[in-house]
Amino acid sequence: MNALLRATERWMEERFPVGAVKKFVSDQATKPLPAHTSWFHTFGSLAIFVIVNQIVTGMLLMIYYRPMPDSAFESVRFIMTKASFGWFIRGLHAWGSKFMIVLLLLHIVRTFFMGAYKKPRELTWVVGVCLFGIALTFGFTGYLLPWNQLSYWATTIGTEMAGALPLVGVQFKRLLLGGDAVGGETLSRFYVVHVIVFPWLLVGLTALHVVLMRAQGLATMDRVGEEKKPKGGLPFVPHHLLKEGVVFAIFLGFLITISILWPPELGEKANPFDTPQAIKPEWYWLPTYQLLKYFPKLLGVLICFLPPVVMMLWPFLDRTRERRFRKRPISVAIGILTIMAALVFGLLGHFSETDIALFGKKYHVDHYGVPRTPTETPHP
Amino acid sequence: MEPRRLRCATDLTGAVSSCRGAAAIGFCTVLFLTAPRGLAAQETSSCAPCHEKERAQEEKSVHLREGVACTDCHGGDPKEIDKGRAHADRVKKVPHTEVPKLCGGCHADVRRMNPYGLPTDQLSRYQTSRHGEVLAQGDTEVATCTDCHRAHGVLSVKSPDSPVYPRNVPGTCGRCHGDEELMKKRGKKSTAPALYRQSVHAALLFDKGDLSAPTCATCHGNHGAVPPGVRDITHVCGKCHVKEHEVFERSPHFQPTRQGDFKGCVQCHTNHKILKSPADIRKKCGLCHDEDHPGPKRFDAIFARIDRGEAALRRTGERLEELTRAGFHTEDDRVLWEQAKTANRQILPGQHALDLKTVEDLASTAEKTLAEVDRSLEEKEKSKRVRRLALVPIWGFLVVMAGLFWAKRKAVEKRAGSAPSPGDRE
């Protein structure tokens, strides 16, 4: 057996530099990690685990899914009710998409507050922000596929937002929709983007992100330009990998539990003639959705584009050399304010156009998120 | 040069004259396009300079739109600008008592009303109504056409601003019938509008915006408005409550109703403040029956049966919803549940026969169907429990895996002789 393996290795070595690749992988695996490497450093690899989960469960769902308006909803219902473990696979996929966003957000927050985006890792940060943008758009394209009321009208709102872009808005909206309204053409387009274009893009960019991260090593807490190579630290394999193994096992249990206890609902089939009240996008689009309400269409869209652009360019805007949390108060304050603003707008978006009870009194939260006492209309 | 100048002048003259021609045609066209649509509108506007208030009221009127002029009702000469000459031809404020005949002049004319598809029996209906009778007896304050439809600014009944639009009818009738002083003079109660507002019908009309909900006119009639007689009440209610009316004929209360001893539907439900609650209706039994009488007891038994059926239906419905949300195939169960619901809904009109057996038969049909649904749901709930139980071994396996990874990591650290990384403390 060993002889056969050696022979195969020799055969491969004559045709491909297996040795060099093995050496690179071995060097990266045994590269010592900085002393501050913590449990927080497992968010990125957990996100990769979720990406794998999305790809595997997505492929399984594709076996039964039919991307046509007259059969999409029925095929998802078939998956949920007839296909063996279909409900579970869909649960893992739907919840996985939400967790992917959560983990990417946590990973970005960790990177931001530890100053790990600074020189020489600017490119790794930019690729990471692109990955986050793709994950958000991934969710948007996948949201339409069940072809239920919620997905249909949330996509209508989303594409209307895209249509407000200056200069190219109308053309871009048409490109997304394949017509004037959400229909069969839109479903085909979203399906192709969701199952072919974005997965390849996500895998490619993730690979680039990981290669960049491994090549430069994990950032230390030293000032920019004064970074010392970690000496005597523990290697990635097996120490950090085992740590990730612990987190993976617990996260997997959590994902399975949620998928079993709260499988995603299918709701009612999309009906273009029946607009439901107060339709809202997925939670991670809520801050944008709410922010758009306070500004005229064009200005709102431009304002919503500002945070991702600033985020992308942040390593080039923040030229300070400090990485430590306490030594860069402005940067940290901006980060905290951004998170707070996203939370506030997200909550306003969540509660807008709903009835709530506060201290035993009933209120109707209006379009702008302001709670108002419902006024009784007297009978004429 | 001269001939050329002459030619120029000639050309210019021609151009000027053709310009004048064009201007004249343009002016006429503008006049034609902007001119009022009919003579009637011209007549109205000739009254308008002095009667501004009435003109403003007429703004959206169907009469103005259809060319009915001020002079059609009030007389006078619309072509005269001088007040004296314009009013010479017996211009009058139409006396209240003459309003029905005046309106009937057009509205009872079949030829005139035909194009609009409007009925032409309003005048004759009015004359047979209580309002018409009282008017004939010389009561000059009684409602005529203009009290409900307004004198000026008459709108289509389909217009939400019209006083006779379904939502506005209770208010319109209530103006007089809710006026205590006016009603007192005629020996009538003025409570009907206020009572109506507490009824299930008002809740449908005002709260749910159901324009098909009964208003005053639905039961009393509109032009031929008259309080229905005791014997007719079941027919009035039966116009909408068909099944209840049919079943009531098998009730022990039917014969007394025919004889005029029992007020039919309103005996239990009252007339204006019509309530649905069985608890309120139950109180009415005591007005005629002793508590020992089998009637009220039967009533209690019937409603206990109905409540039991409703509760079972609600319970199964909740289970069905929960299983649907959990991703189970529940469509067949839903169809059966809807069947059970339909059977259960038939009990409410069915109980008007006050026959326990009829109620039992209907309830058992619903119960049998519901039992079938429950059996199917039980299977699914069992499967749901298995799903949840599966979490125990899954978590067991994953915790063991996490523990093994943890132990291996500690062993690696120990072997490497290194202290735990500072990150572990975070």
Tell me what pLDDT residue B28 has. 52
Determine the residue type at B205: L
Q: Which of A106, A88, A111, A26 is nearest to A331 (CA)?
A: A111
Asked if the model's pLDDT at residue B420 lies above 80, the reply is: no
B197 close contact with A: CB closer than 8 A: yes
Q: How many whole angstroms from its chain centre is CA B60?
A: 23
In chain A, residues with a C-beta closer than 8 Å to the C-beta of B395 are 253, 257
C-alpha distance from B317 to closest chain A C-alpha (Å): 16
Residues of A with Cβ-Cβ distance to B399 under 8 angstroms: 249, 253
> Nearest CA of chain B to the CA of A103: how many Å?
18
Which of B40-44, B62-66, B113-117, B226-230 shows the lowest per-residue confidence on average (mean pLDDT)?
Answer: B40-44
- Is the Cα dihedral A102, A108, A113, A116 positive or negative? positive
Domain boundaries, chain A: 29-365
For position B1, what pLDDT does the model report?
38
Distance of alpha carbon A355 from alpha carbon B74, whole angstroms: 55
* pLDDT, average across residues B405-423: 74
DSSP letter assigned to residue A34? P
Distance in angstroms (rounded) separating the CA atoms of residues B164 and B160: 9
Q: Do B405 and A265 touch (CB under 8 A)?
A: no
Please give the CATH topology (third level) of the domain spanning A29-365.
Cytochrome Bc1 Complex; Chain C (1.20.810)
pLDDT of residue B311: 93
CA of B297 vs chain A CAs: smallest distance (Å):
38
Burial class (CB in 10 A: 0-12, 13-18, 19+), A374: exposed
Q: Do B327 and A81 touch (CB under 8 A)?
A: yes
Mean pLDDT, all residues of chain A: 89
Q: In the predicted model, is pLDDT for residue B423 greater than 60? A: no
Instruction: Kindly provide the ipTM of the predicted complex, given to two decimals.
Output: 0.84
pLDDT at B2: 41
In sequence order, the 6+-apart residues with CB closer than 8 A to the CB of B67 are: B37, B38, B39, B40, B41
d(CA A302, CA B189): 66
Q: What is the pLDDT of residues B178-201, one digit of tens each?
A: 999 999 988 889 999 999 999 999
Cα separation, B110 vs B102, whole angstroms: 15
A54, amino acid identity: Q
- Residue B422 is predicted with a pLDDT of 45
| A7-16, A27-36, B268-277: which is most confident | A7-16
| Whole-number Å distance between alpha carbons of B379 and B366 | 20
A379/B197 touch (CB, cutoff 8 Å), yes or no: yes
Which of the 8 DSSP states describes residue B205?
I
Residue A2's CB is within 10 A of a number of other CB atoms, namely: 6
In angstroms, the separation between the Cα of residue B64 and the nearest Cα of chain A is 27
Tally C-beta pairs within 8 A across A and B. 97
Average pLDDT of B52-65?
86
CB of B210 less than 8 A from some CB of A:
no
Percent of chain B at pLDDT exceeding 90: 34
Rounded to whole angstroms, how far apart are CA atoms B397 and A252? 11
For B28, B125, B156, B227, B416, the CA distances from B122, given in Å and listed in that order, are: 44, 5, 15, 17, 105
CB atoms A39 and B424 under 8 Å: yes
CA A200 to each of CA A71, A90, A130, A206, B309: distance values in angstroms, whole numbers, following the listed order: 26, 21, 14, 10, 57
Maximum mean pLDDT: which of B141-150, B184-193, B393-402: B393-402
Cβ within 8 Å, pair A234-B421: yes
Q: Which residues of B touch A36 (CB under 8 A)?
A: 422-423
Higher pLDDT, A277 or A263: A263
In this predicted structure, the answer to whether residue A240 has a pLDDT above a threshold of 80 is yes
What mean pLDDT, rounded, does chain B reach?
Answer: 82
> Is residue B211 predicted with pLDDT exceeding 50?
yes
| Surface of B (313-352) touching A: CB under 8 A | 325-329
Contact: B398, A252; criterion CB under 8 Å? yes
Q: Mutate which of B321, B401, B404 to test chain A, going by most A C-beta atoms within 10 A? A: B401
- Min Cα–Cα distance to chain A from B407, Å: 9
The answer, yes or no, to whether residue B10 has pLDDT greater than 70, is no
Residue A188 pLDDT more than 90? yes
Q: Are B74 and B91 in contact (CB under 8 A)?
A: yes
Identify which has the larger pLDDT, A14 or B91.
A14
* Residue A33 exposure: Cα atoms within 13 Å on the Cβ side: 22
Question: What digits encode the pLDDT tens for the residues B310-340?
Answer: 999 999 999 999 998 888 888 889 999 999 9
Q: Which of A35, A81, A260 sits opposite B387 (nearest CB)?
A: A260
- Which domains, from first to last, does chain B contain? 228-274 (no CATH), 295-385 (1.20.1270)
Confidence of residue B39 (pLDDT cuts 50, 70, 90): very low
pLDDT of B4 reads: 44
Nearest to B423 among A38, A232, A264 (CB): A38
A11 bridge partner residues: none
**Which chain A residues are closer than 8 Å to B426 by Cβ?**
38-40
Residue B249 pLDDT grade (very low, low, confident, very high; cuts 50, 70, 90): confident
Confidence label for B18 from pLDDT (cuts 50, 70 and 90) = low
Q: Scanning every residue of chain B, which has its alpha carbon at the shortest distance from the alpha carbon of A232?
A: B418
The closest CB to that of B423, out of A36, A86, A264, belongs to: A36
Cβ–Cβ gap A265/B206 under 8 Å: no
- Confidence at residue B14, expressed as pLDDT on a 0 to 100 scale: 47
pLDDT at position A269, please?
A: 92
Say yes or no: A87 contacts chain B, CB-CB below 8 A: yes
Residues of chain B with pLDDT > 70: what percent? 85
- Please give the pLDDT value at position B90: 63
Residue A336 reports pLDDT greater than 80: yes
Which residues in chain B touch residue A232, judged by CB atoms under 8 angstroms apart? 418
Among A138, A248, A91, A166, which Cα is nearest to B387's? Answer: A91
B36 has pLDDT over 80: no
What predicted TM-score, i.e. pTM, was given to this entire model?
0.68
Q: Which residues of A touch B398 (CB under 8 A)?
A: 249-250, 252-253
- Give A57 or B366, the one with higher predicted confidence: A57
